[in-house]
Amino acid sequence: MSKPSEGTVRAVSTFVAAFGIGVATYIAIAESGGGAPACLAGGGGCETVAESQYSDLAGINVAVIGIVGYVLLLVTALLRGDGARMGGFALSLAGFGFSVYLTYLELFVIEAVCQWCVISAILMTVLFGLNAFRMLRYAGRAP
Amino acid sequence: MSAKKERERRREERQQRESEKAEDARRQRLIKLGSAAAFLAIVAVAVAVVISQSQTSGGDTNLEHVAEVETGLANIPQHRLTLGRPTAKVTLVEFGDLQCPICRDFAVKVLPELIENKIRTGEARLEFRNFPILGPESVTAAPAAVAAGEQGRGWNFIELFYRNQGIENTGYVTEEFMTSIAKGAKVADVPRWNHEREGAPAEAEVKRTKHEAERLGFGGTPSFAVEGPGTKGLEPLGTLGSLGEFEEAIEGAA
């Protein structure tokens, strides 16, 4: 099977990042009124997570940090060249690492799982895979 | 092969070698840059984790929110771990663990308004029953709340503990920490509190409420139950989230 072209990788990254913006925006809006995102499978996990002390980082809602991250990843997917490849890789690695930490908090500290956060963590993992592939395969080559 | 062709061949070979060298140098430079980017990303995550953890560090003896707790509970009768007027028709019961961060969030985000709307008005009473499930430090903390309740300062102790909570089972529930909570909660006779929290009656009371929570089918904290003229005994509510849900449960039980 032939490896996907950089154009394909960038197109998929663009789509995934746009989807991520949607998910993070939904969580941020749902939480902004002191509420919580509606859980797809019920159970109140999202409410517990949204109300926990970990839902803010230095006074900024974690979902808002997520929106900023996805927007930057969207920009790196749209741009060509080594700068974008490097930026996308670094950002997605940070996003992936932070998602791992948040998932750990959900499972072992807050002991509640919010499906919207899980969706975001999966999207971030996919973006990390795509950006790592783009960096390793295409860095140093003509855009 | 003519000398001219030989020269051309050598030149091409040299050019190819140079181009390969340049490509190699470029890739080396990119690997270095990539490593730097990865390092920065890891540092960014580490900083985020440190900030996230530090805002929840707590667990020291420099107590916070002492005045806020005092004001929030001022002039509301307390008997053991029950807050509110004895004449209130409805009793809302919280099965909580003093180490539980979600119980803390309930205490900080929902309870102040619930106290003002339903407890201070005399519509309902709020009873805390220990359900220590998060580990050895929860077991140490629970009877201390019972002992504070014996001196009419149970809810001050609970509320202050929640607001100064550390990270579960990190060794923060020390004698020193609990004594500072008791003093902050204005437990009048600290030596008596110290003696009683280690005594058999407080331990038995914690065991009793823990068994009760298990009998009601609860598996996590905080879990709630309500009792009033509109209920058949103590009815389990499970985990509630918003102020509205609590008010509805109280009104339904009245």
- Which one-letter amino acid corresponds to residue B39? F
Mean pLDDT value of segment B111-134: 95
* pLDDT of amino acid A56: 74
Q: Looking at the complex, does the CB of residue B33 fall below 8 Å from at least one CB of chain A?
A: yes
CA atoms of A127 and A95, how far apart (whole Å): 9
Query: Shortest CA distance to B183 belongs to which of B147, B157, B146?
Result: B157
Return the CA Rg of chain A. Answer: 16
Pairing of strands B124-130, B90-96: parallel
CA atoms of A98 and B39, how far apart (whole Å): 14
CA atoms of A66 and A68, how far apart (whole Å): 5
Interchain proximity B26–A140, CB inside 8 Å: yes
CA atoms of B27 and A74, how far apart (whole Å): 25
Mean pLDDT value of segment A50-77: 84
Interchain proximity A86–B239, CB inside 8 Å: no
Q: How far is A140 from chain B (nearest CA, A)?
A: 6
The single residue listed with the structure tokens 């914690």 is B206
Interchain proximity A109–B34, CB inside 8 Å: no
pLDDT at A55 over 70: yes
The answer to whether the peptide bond before residue B222 is cis (omega within 30 degrees of 0) is yes
pLDDT at B72 over 80: yes
| pLDDT range class, residue A41, cuts 50, 70, 90 | very low
User: How large is the ipTM?
Assistant: 0.75
The more confident residue out of A31 and B92 is B92
Query: Shortest CA distance to B98 belongs to which of B4, B7, B182, B30?
Result: B182
Q: How far is B105 from chain A (nearest CA, A)?
A: 6
Interchain proximity A51–B102, CB inside 8 Å: yes
Task: For the sheet with B82-83, list strands across it.
Answer: B78-79, B82-83, B124-130, B90-96, B223-227, B235-238
Interchain proximity A101–B51, CB inside 8 Å: no
* pLDDT of amino acid A42: 47
* pLDDT of amino acid B49: 84
Interchain proximity A48–B33, CB inside 8 Å: no
Q: Looking at the complex, does the CB of residue B102 fall below 8 Å from at least one CB of chain A?
A: yes
Mean pLDDT value of segment B183-199: 94
pLDDT at B217 over 50: yes
Cα angle: B94, vertex B65, B173; to 5 degrees:
65
Please state, for a pLDDT cut of 90, what percent of chain B lies above it: 63
Average predicted confidence (pLDDT) for chain B: 90
Contact B197, B146 (CB under 8 A): yes
Q: How much is the pTM? A: 0.58
Give tens-digit pLDDT for B138-162.
999 999 999 999 999 999 999 999 9
Mean pLDDT value of segment A50-68: 79
CA atoms of A94 and B230, how far apart (whole Å): 53
- Which one-letter amino acid corresponds to residue B129? R
Q: Is A90 exposed, middle or buried (0-12, 13-18, 19+ CB in 10 A)?
A: buried
The more confident residue out of A12 and B102 is A12
CA atoms of B116 and B74, how far apart (whole Å): 11
Question: Which residues of chain B form beta strands (DSSP E)?
Answer: 78-79, 82-83, 90-96, 124-130, 223-227, 235-238
Query: Shortest CA distance to B125 belongs to which of B162, B93, B173?
Result: B93
The CA distances from residue B98 to A79, B43, B174, in Å, are: 51, 34, 14
pLDDT at B57 over 70: no
Contact A85, A9 (CB under 8 A): no
* pLDDT of amino acid A36: 56
Q: How far is A126 from chain B (nearest CA, A)?
A: 17
- Which one-letter amino acid corresponds to residue B144? A
Read off φ and ψ for residue B227, nearest 5 degrees: -140, 135
CB pairs < 8 Å spanning A and B = 83
Q: Which of A52, A93, A101 sits opposite B102 (nearest CB)?
A: A52
Contact B123, B250 (CB under 8 A): yes
Q: Which DSSP symbol is given to B78? A: E
Cα angle: B245, vertex B246, B250; to 5 degrees:
120
The more confident residue out of B157 and A57 is B157
Give tens-digit pLDDT for B78-102.
999 999 999 999 999 999 999 988 8
Helix (H, G, I), strand (E, B) or coil at A11: helix
- Token code pair at residue A77: 């997917």
Question: A47-56, A93-102, B125-134: lowest mean pLDDT where?
Answer: A47-56
Interchain proximity A35–B34, CB inside 8 Å: no
Helix (H, G, I), strand (E, B) or coil at B82: strand
Sign of the Cα pseudo-torsion (B236, B242, B245, B248, in order): positive
